[in-house]
Chain A
């Protein structure tokens, strides 16, 4: 049997969900999958499109996990729209002329923005709001504009208006209906929304249409409205709804609906059983075209089940819940169930506070069952109310709409929800399914719940079992950050004393363990307790810190001198070369712009470092949970694009924070312009030069779980930049868990980036003076650990292979040649013991 081919036309959110569902069901292993899509980039999160203007990059918005296509052998062709379908021959033809034969064809072409046929609609300065490319074009044009109008006051229209306002334009919203968001909210909700949005400085015109876009020399200069008024605007964004993209289907003779949409049955099959349609291009069997992502996902799962031969009796898309929760212009808006109260005999309960811009309405039936509702300004309860739809809530409806603090407190938690309540409506996941998982990460991985709009995450967290014991290890019931506070308050200097006073009862008087010893050692070091290897502190450090070098697999060590900012003189390079040559070390350039020397025996470390220190080198702390490097590009001094001296700043930062002990290693970089050659956005703290100063990014990471850093602050002066980094690092050191990189910490931090910004930019906790003082103490007390060690014969005594034979090198640390250098001789390590090794 030949391998069947499945062709997917369109790679939006629904298309990608479909591919993931095929992969989950093993279909990608037995079928060839070809994806043809019009946009120049793979699927991205269109729902979050507006977040591009708050600092997300197109890459951040990507829906496709790195390597997904390769892993599943999926052929993806971007910038390659299908232009024709031949159903007789079962082939599709793409714009480049590429012809692909299919066994099954899945259309996920989405929708296009509706532009009302008014004069002037094609003038320069008229835009739609649908793709990343649209956003880029709007952003560019807005640079020369001062006033803009959005046609359409629905969900997308408000998003677009928020974007224009964010770009600094005086913004008008023109909505034909008598209220904003007419589909989702009722009159009262629309009024609350209107007041809030007007208070933000936007001008709203409801109940009026657009008659003409006024132009001069082919460019937008204004708008004429149906009420006769005129607006002077420089640009117009049409966001007056979307229409299904069904043209391909029409042209090849598939059935389409009277008002558009490719007609499909419950299994999403079109009038040709070899062709399916999913998402916004499809006219579902209930006669509706769904413009939300959740129903699209359900259709994607339906077709994937059909193609996997897994379709059961309950497979099929028969209609979907139109519940939505959004944050538009900073205002929470949610509607769910029968929001408009269309059911016969239904009643409503309304709470409205126009001062605060809050409006809540619940629709109930005469028996008290919750049918639906509208929430504006405060949609906190959406996560609970939506799953309760169709049931009789355990408390009275008025209690559900009253704000916290008014009336009797509502003791309604997620535990009150029935097992079959749908918690994540994007991925249709029930409370029962979530109960099978142990952690939020597991929930996201196994059920995808919480990975769509994210509005259910808080409820999911409440459903998960509380970890029984948050303690650091078997010796301490406190977390790392709690221990930090204890050590700081008590001015602790001794691990044993801390264990005996604050350890678990069973651990007091003991040795501690391999988890708490280095953790407390790091805390004591962060709190500035001097040389890390004196007295008891020596017994706390992992072997790397203990020997101020990195232990390698055969028991040898590697040596990394600090090369601040990656800048080094020829003389120093020569010294490194000579040391490596004289001690036969393997040399490799690291990712952090320095040089790692491998293969030193423990007894060779002092001699090697004597030469390095004499030549002006100091410890690079590659062995420590501490600042590693501040990488830099060459910057303004040499580079024709550079706008600041990135090398100078990188050196300054590296020297300032060198030796700073932290919960985990810290990496940094400084780029001299927006081209970002230093890759600062993948660092714990990254700095990118602007024409006006520096942008500071935090929480980035490469490695196993890459994370783009978040923009914390813009256009900072040198002093402002350093002050913010001081605070950021000390706040991280104070509150992070053991071995928690800034990326994970920031994800975990309650309130996220906004909270971080409040604390370290706005000083909302009044902590900043203290954080700065701690950093100032670190900077002034810094001493090079290797120089300190070499100065003290007592400290040097640990650098022997054998305590009873200090002159004898360890015979098991041996090397063999490879590519003109050495590598560990691992065969020697497989010998059980080394009888006779000495006699050789």
Chain B
């Protein structure tokens, strides 16, 4: 029997927490995770199965909604578009693709069995 893969996230350097079974994530969609200090992360998987996590807070509106955006590819790089006003954020760097002055935090993630 295949052991389920777990998605883990590093909320602070040197610490890891379990978020969910990787199978809970529909490729191309995200989910929100509550971090121990009250921050929220948005976790995603893409078609190839790679996982990403960025801060869940949309810096343009302040709402914790980035996990509900749509994942896409621009110039070969993965991004999520905010569901509120559609600004896009690079899932690997947190950089906003539509406003150079804005970025969100990125969290390290890993898949373990």
Contact = CB atoms under 8 A, between A and B. Distances in A.
A651 B53 CA distance: 46
Contact of B37 (A555, A832, A835): A835
Q: Which of the listed residues A475, A803, A829, A831 has the most CB atoms from chain B within 10 Å of its own CB?
A: A803
A803 B20 contact: yes
Contact of A474 (B28, B39, B64, B74): B74
A442 B13 CA distance: 54
A663 interface: no
A835 B38 contact: yes
A514 B32 CA distance: 19
B29 A538 contact: yes
B11 to A, nearest CB: 11
Interface residues of B, number: 41
A285 interface: no
Interface in B21-52: 24, 26-29, 31-34, 37-40, 43, 46-47
B63 A511 contact: no
A543 B84 CA distance: 9
Contacts of B28: 511-512, 517, 536, 539-540
A539 B27 contact: yes
Given A510-B76, A518-B70, A826 B88 contact: no
Contact of B70 (A517, A555, A805): A517
A539 B69 contact: no
B64 A810 contact: yes
A762 interface: no
Given A513-B73, A539-B26, A812 B64 contact: yes
Interface residues of A, number: 50
Given A543-B68, A833-B57, A802 B34 contact: yes
A547 B72 contact: no
A539 B71 contact: yes
Given A802-B32, A803-B33, A543 B71 contact: no
Interface string A543-558: 1101100010111000
A395 interface: no
A542 B64 CA distance: 16
Contacts of A838: 38
Interface in A73-106: none
Contacts of A801: 32, 34
B61 interface: yes
Q: Which of B40, B55, B69, B76 has the most CB of A within 10 A?
A: B40
B26 A803 contact: no
A803 B24 contact: yes
Interface in A726-756: none
A257 B8 CA distance: 92
Contacts of B26: 536, 538-539
Interface in A527-576: 536, 538-540, 542-544, 546-547, 551, 553-555
A833 B65 CA distance: 13
Contact of B39 (A496, A536, A835): A835
Interface in B88-113: 88
A510 B62 CA distance: 29
A808 B32 CA distance: 12
B34 A808 contact: yes
Contacts of A828: 62
B54 interface: no
Interface of A is mostly: loop
Contacts of A510: 47, 72-73, 76
B38 A553 contact: no
A303 B49 CA distance: 70
Contacts of B69: 514, 543
A547 B68 contact: yes
Nearest to B36: A838
Contacts of A514: 69-70, 72, 81, 86, 88
Interface string A812-829: 110000000000001011
B73 A829 contact: no
B68 to A, nearest CB: 4
A422 to B, nearest CB: 42
Candidate in A510, A512, A554 with the most chain B CB atoms within 10 angstroms: A510
Contact of B74 (A513, A539, A551, A834): A513
A511 B79 CA distance: 9
Nearest to A830: B62
A804 B76 contact: no
Interface centre among A506, A510, A511, A553 (most CB of B within 10 A): A511
Given A538-B29, A551-B83, A802-B32, A812 B72 contact: no
B18 interface: yes
A801 B42 CA distance: 11
A838 B36 CA distance: 9
A114 to B, nearest CB: 61
Given A517-B70, A833-B57, A511 B46 contact: yes
A832 B59 CA distance: 8
Interface in A639-693: none
A803 B32 contact: yes
Contact of A829 (B33, B62, B74): B62
20 contacts: A475-B72, A475-B73, A511-B28, A514-B70, A517-B72, A536-B27, A539-B70, A551-B83, A551-B84, A801-B32, A802-B34, A803-B32, A804-B18, A805-B34, A829-B61, A831-B62, A832-B57, A833-B38, A833-B55, A838-B38
What 5 pairs across the A-B complex have the smallest Cβ distances? A829-B62, A510-B73, A539-B28, A513-B72, A514-B81
Interface of B: 17-20, 24, 26-29, 31-34, 37-40, 43, 46-47, 55, 57, 61-65, 68-74, 76, 78, 81, 83-84, 86, 88
